[in-house]
Amino acid sequence: MDAPESNFTQAAADRPTLLRGWRPWAIAAAAAVLGLVLFARSGKKEPAANPAGRAVPVTVVLARKGDMAVSLTGLGTVTSLNSVTVKSRVDGQLLRVAFTEGQMVRQGELLAEIDPRPFQVQLMQAEGQFAKDRAARDNAVADLKRLQALVQQGIVSRQQLDTQTTSVAQFEAALMADQAQVESAKLNLTYSRITAPISGRAGLRLVDAGNMVRATDANGLATIAPIQPINVVFAVPADNIQQVLAQSTKGGKLPVEAWDRDLKTRLAAGTLAAIDNQVDPTTGTVRMKALFPNDDHSLFPNQFVNARLRVDTLCGVVIVPTAAVQRSPQGSFVYVVKTDGTVDLRTIEVQGTDGDDTAVIKGLVGGETIVTDGLEKLRPGSKVSLPKAPGAKG
């Protein structure tokens, strides 16, 4: 009876050893099975981004046929035709300033006044000296006439007559110098009233009334900048210069438009006035100047704008939004919406681009529906969902 009990006890004692022996093999087998399951699942294809029956929401537009302008766009700076720093031409105390900062002034209009009394005194002195020398000259002329009569009678010598003639000439020269002093004093008195040398907008006042001003002051009193008309200086790539020259030689002025920094608002319209005579080697561009009437004062000196120079007009082309045109190694293409609500990839040939518009000369006709937004989810044959018209039901 003791033998079976001892065998059972021995088997129980050997069980941990058996378990320890087969546990690594069980773990390895489970891992292998799990790997096979994952491999099988990885071999299955994921559902497509656009499964059959699910329409992709897109934005569309109709391709239109018409004329499209071809323009060159360059960053430009608004500049005045000429800018003047108003300075005093005489030294003195500034009595008053007769203009308002930012005021439109006309040529010859009074801007400021310097104390005129010192110049009035100088004028009086010059006029007094002139009158004194003129009286002396008149007396010398009278003596000369008497000497001429006495010489004819042989009473005085010819030498006395020559001396008196020379004296008269000296007084005449002195009168000329006195007259110059008078004119100089009058000119200084005129300069005490500072007037606008040109018409334009006055800048900020640089000197206040009561200060001493001098002709040697570097800053001056204010600046005046004409704004009607006004220039815009901009640059275009040197590769396009021949196209610009070819159009300019046909006669007439090439139209130029000034737009804001975001190219969303047109500020003014003008014409091309001049083309620089050389290419800037550092930027590879050619500077150009356009003239704008600026009747509404929309352009301001030193303002940064985008200048658009129209160099050509493409007639009778199909026009689509630039955002709709996609590119691949095979060329440009667009997605065209068919009557069954699916899209077709259409290869096109582009002739030119102008901002938001692109001219197509091959591959499209006017009136076709082109996808402009949602392109990244499309494939040839994909179903699309078009936006509903405002107020539509369902």
**DSSP labels, 325-364:** -EEETTEEEEEEE-TTSBEEEEEEEEEEEETTEEEEEES-
- Strand order across the beta sheet in which 193-195 lies: 193-195, 110-114, 92-97, 212-213
CA–CA dist 58, 375 (Å, integer): 8
CA–CA dist 15, 173 (Å, integer): 146
CA–CA dist 356, 279 (Å, integer): 29
Q: Which of 30-34, 38-42, 98-102, 118-122 has the lowest mean pLDDT?
A: 38-42
Average pLDDT over residues 275-291: 92
What does the pLDDT read at residue 181? 95
Q: Which of 14-18, 75-79, 96-100, 167-171 has the lowest mean pLDDT?
A: 14-18
What does the pLDDT read at residue 53? 56
CA–CA dist 225, 78 (Å, integer): 12
Of 23-37, 50-64, 109-123, which has the strongest mean pLDDT? 109-123
What does the pLDDT read at residue 47? 42
pTM of the model: 0.64
What does the pLDDT read at residue 34? 62
Band (pLDDT 50/70/90 cuts) for residue 191 is: very high
